[in-house]
Amino acid sequence: MEIQARAKINWTLDVVGRRADGYHLLDMLMQPLTLCDTLLIEPAEGLSLQIEGMDGLSAAEDNLILRAAKALREAAGVTVGASIRLTKRIPMGAGLGGGSADCAAALKGLNDFWQLGFDLEKLCVIGVCLGADVPFCLHDAPRRAQGIGEILSPIQSHVFPLVLVQPCKALSTKEVFSAYHQSAIVPPDTEKATLALAASDLRALKACAGNVLESASIPLRSQIAEAKEALYENGAAFAQMTGSGSVVFGAFETDEAADRSFHSLKSRYPVCFRTQTAL
């Protein structure tokens, strides 16, 4: 069985509170991309994971794919196995949800492969214990995500041409949130951004969307602001950091404009992708 694990972007990201256990309460508009990793699942007696396409990613017991497989087996009370091969394309430390997407794909794929019969709601209950973005990745469609990411509601969006650039190394999520708490931040207008997405109006989106972690990150990583400006200079109608970074995306009104931007920027940024949103 082969299954895709699609990356995501944040059109908005707002921090609206904090739980007693320290988890931040979020309000986000997110959408999957056509950029994806691929999981190939084959029969085996035990559980094993191989990774291709990217160095520096551990296939040890702490990998989210193996953790997902074990959590799924525990929930079902079974001891079945699988051999899993991950082909990695989504860059790490990017804010694109690659680890969560791989985890969600493992939950979905192994649920079918092992014929466990869990529905999406049950998979989300298992998934949120593994990562806050995993429920969104399980839904794999445009959603407003609230709470710590587990409260999901459908939103209307469209296919937008995108160029992604990764201008610098990642900071840890902890570092970014620490900087956020020391910054004066203007929050996005999530309601207006929802309407702008539904209307496919990137100009209106630019006026009301935002990512509060971007403002906190720029003093620590000036390359974020430089990449955003480069995307605007090359025709983006809307540009923003996704998640806690370090990828900055530009959304374009036409495929031709996105193609021109990609060809202009790919020599400047070694990690540069031409992709699009997915529904």
DSSP states of 103-133: HHHHHHHHHHHTT----HHHHHHHHHTT-TT
What is the rounded CA–CA span in Å between residue 1 and residue 119?
Answer: 19
CB 104 within 8 A of CB 127: yes
Decide if 226 contacts 167 (C-beta within 8 A).
yes
What pLDDT does residue 152 have?
Answer: 97
- Percentage of residues in the chain with pLDDT exceeding 70? 100
Sign of CA dihedral 215, 221, 226, 231: negative
Q: 142 with 127: CB under 8 angstroms?
A: no
Q: What is the DSSP letter of 269?
A: -
Residue 225, H or E segment: helix 222-233
**Phi, psi for residue 16 in degrees, rounded to 5:** -115, 0
Provide mean pLDDT across the span 252-273.
97
- Contacts of 71-77 with C-beta under 8 Å, sequence gap 24+, read 71/107, 71/126, 71/129, 71/130, 72/106, 72/107, 72/110, 72/111, 72/114, 72/116, 72/118, 72/126, 75/118, 75/122, 75/126, 76/114, 76/116, 76/118
Q: Pick the closest to residue 158 from 55, 62, 279, 66 (CA basis).
A: 279
Question: How many angstroms separate the CA atoms of 141 and 179, rounded?
Answer: 30
CA distance 214 to 212: 5
In tens, the pLDDT along 165-202 reads 999 988 777 788 788 877 778 899 999 999 999 999 99
Residue 87: what pLDDT? Answer: 97
The closest of 219, 149, 209, 208 to 184, measured between CA atoms, is 219
Calculate the CA dihedral of residues 219, 220, 222, 228 and round it to 10 degrees.
-90
Rg (CA), the chain: 18
- Per residue in 3-47, pLDDT (tens digit) is 999 999 999 999 999 888 888 899 999 999 999 999 999 999 999
- Report, as residue numbers or ranges, the catalytic residues: 8, 133
What number of H helices and E strands is found in the chain? Answer: 10, 11
Residue whose entry in the numeric block shows the structure tokens 């049950």: 122
Q: How far apart are the first and last CA of the chain?
A: 22
Task: Look at strands 151-154 and 143-147 and give their pairing.
Answer: antiparallel
Q: Average per-residue pLDDT in the chain?
A: 94
pTM of the model: 0.95
Domains of the chain: 2-154 (3.30.230.10), 161-276 (3.30.70.890)
